[in-house]
Structure 1
């Protein structure tokens, strides 16, 4: 007997392997999946401009990266003793203006290079709600705790989201025509916007994204959709799969969603290597009651041998 519904997932025609180079962009759920890629030692770059929730801000950043348009002094501002940019997350903010500009421009040039080399890009959309700076009339990626009165809060229309996703794809494909796209919608509910408003926001993302995929997938190239939101809402329909805030997936949920992702989007040839990496990672976490014992020294020697063999086998893997 089946006691839950299972979401059907189509296998990727261009699965990820240890030769793949992955760029992950988007909401905090993108970070959850990137941590898994990092754990298993895949070649993955995550959110070089910090967490970005909305499609318009993602579009603006990729246009900048693809054209290598560097940040200038006019693109940053001073608030609460730190310099910020409305285009990026506050994690990149700095007390020194020049250091911030150097950090941002290094991110632009390095992301441009990585995007040209990337085989796969994973874009995780979080919300349709955006904040618009009323002075510049620009959508911001982060408000940086600037007073609320300086922004208008808006819900992006389906057409606006569709256009921004389409523009993002076109910008990236102009630079990296053979890249494989994987889109997903974050399973994190943005309840601070309101319960009804969160559902409305997600529905706009679904409608816009699937309209774009329908258009693109009628051509020769297929862009994949991974149903992380559907898995969380349907297969894991229980609050025991949430963190204490009852909004974010807990580690059990993340592990389960990763399992389904890896079964369908990672090459089967990579599974044996993933098992080797997993065994080493668990061994590295092992803490001995007697670190000086012969038994533990033999354990460490054997572990180092396993690491050396794997690092020699796959040059980019480092522990």
Structure 2
């Protein structure tokens, strides 16, 4: 008997290999996948402006990068002794106003350069629920613990999400017409919005993404979809695959989703290199009971030989 409902995922026509340059943006699940890319030494950069959940905020920050629209004092504000920006995650907030602006604008320049030369972009949408600042009437990426009375909470309609995704694609293609897009919906459930509301939110994302895919596929462009959410909900239909909060995928689930991503989106010739990288990573993480022993010193010597051989083939690798 088969106790699972395996999801069939088509092999992409534009796989990722070790010459690829990947940029990942979006929800916290984007960070989970990016850690895998980093572990296996792919050329990857992730969420340069921090975690962003909704499509409008992703579009807004992409527009800044593509058009090199730099931040000014009018884009930031002081709250709880820190300078913040509603377009970015609070992890980038700073106690010094000038340092914050300088840092954000340096990120714009660096991301513009990286995006120009990227081969793949992975965009992970988390929710259709947004918070709109009442005073500015602008959708924010992060509320920065500003009192909730200063915001209204809204569910973005499918049409607005679709338009936002379409704008994001066009902006990026304007800068880099050859880039490949991989869209996915985060498997993290946002039940603080409510159980029914979470399902509605995800449904709006699915509808919008697939409408954009339908439009672009008819034009033979390189937009694909990876079913992270569907794998979690249908193939890993059990709470043993969740973290303690019962909302986020645990490491077993992340590893399983990553394995399916490898099968569908990583070039076959790169898989053997990934195995070599993992062997080295495990060796580097090994802790000997007797670090000065002859046996351990021989182990380290062989390990560094493997690293040197691999770096001769891939000079960008850093262990």
TM-score range, shorter chain: over 0.9
Residue in 2 that maps onto 1:191: 191
Residue in 2 that maps onto 1:62: 62
TM-score normalised by structure 2 residue count: 0.99
Displacement after TM superposition at 1:4 (Å): 1.0
Indicate whether 1:83 and 2:83 are aligned. Answer: yes
Residue in 2 that maps onto 1:43: 43
Separation of aligned partners in 2, 1:169 and 1:4: 35
Indicate whether 1:270 and 2:270 are aligned. Answer: yes
Query: Which residues of 2 match residues 232-243 of structure 1 at below 5 A?
Result: 232-243=232-243
Separation of aligned partners in 2, 1:198 and 1:221: 31
Residue in 1 that maps onto 2:179: 179
Displacement after TM superposition at 1:237 (Å): 0.2
Give the match's secondary structure for 1:154: strand
Residue in 1 that maps onto 2:205: 205
Residue in 2 that maps onto 1:220: 220
Displacement after TM superposition at 1:223 (Å): 0.7
Query: Which residues of 2 match residues 69-108 of structure 1 at below 5 A?
Result: 69-108=69-108
Corresponding pairs, count: 319
Give the match's secondary structure for 2:206: helix
Separation of aligned partners in 2, 1:4 and 1:280: 33
Displacement after TM superposition at 1:220 (Å): 1.7
Separation of aligned partners in 1, 2:137 and 2:214: 31
Deviations 1:275-300 (CA, angstroms, capped at 9, x unpaired): 00000000001111111100000001
Query: What RMSD over aligned residues (CA atoms) do the two structures have, in Å?
Result: 0.5
Residue in 2 that maps onto 1:134: 134
Displacement after TM superposition at 1:190 (Å): 0.1
Give the match's secondary structure for 1:181: strand
Separation of aligned partners in 1, 2:3 and 2:220: 38
Displacement after TM superposition at 1:8 (Å): 1.1
Residue in 1 that maps onto 2:306: 306
Give the match's secondary structure for 2:166: helix
Separation of aligned partners in 2, 1:57 and 1:106: 19
Separation of aligned partners in 2, 1:108 and 1:250: 33
TM-score normalised by structure 1 residue count: 0.99
Deviations 1:65-122 (CA, angstroms, capped at 9, x unpaired): 0000100010000000000000000000000001100110011000000000000000
Residue in 1 that maps onto 2:115: 115
Query: Which residues of 2 match residues 285-296 of structure 1 at below 5 A?
Result: 285-296=285-296
Give the match's secondary structure for 1:136: coil
- Runs (4+) of structure 1 exceeding 3 A deviation are none
Deviations 1:226-264 (CA, angstroms, capped at 9, x unpaired): 000000000000000000000000000000000000111
Give the match's secondary structure for 1:289: coil
Deviations 1:183-224 (CA, angstroms, capped at 9, x unpaired): 000000000000010001000000111001000011122311
Separation of aligned partners in 2, 1:95 and 1:82: 4
Separation of aligned partners in 1, 2:189 and 2:128: 12
Give the match's secondary structure for 2:296: helix
Displacement after TM superposition at 1:3 (Å): 1.3
Residue in 2 that maps onto 1:248: 248
Separation of aligned partners in 2, 1:55 and 1:134: 19
Give the match's secondary structure for 2:22: strand
Give the match's secondary structure for 1:145: coil
Unaligned residue ranges in structure 2 (runs of 5+): none
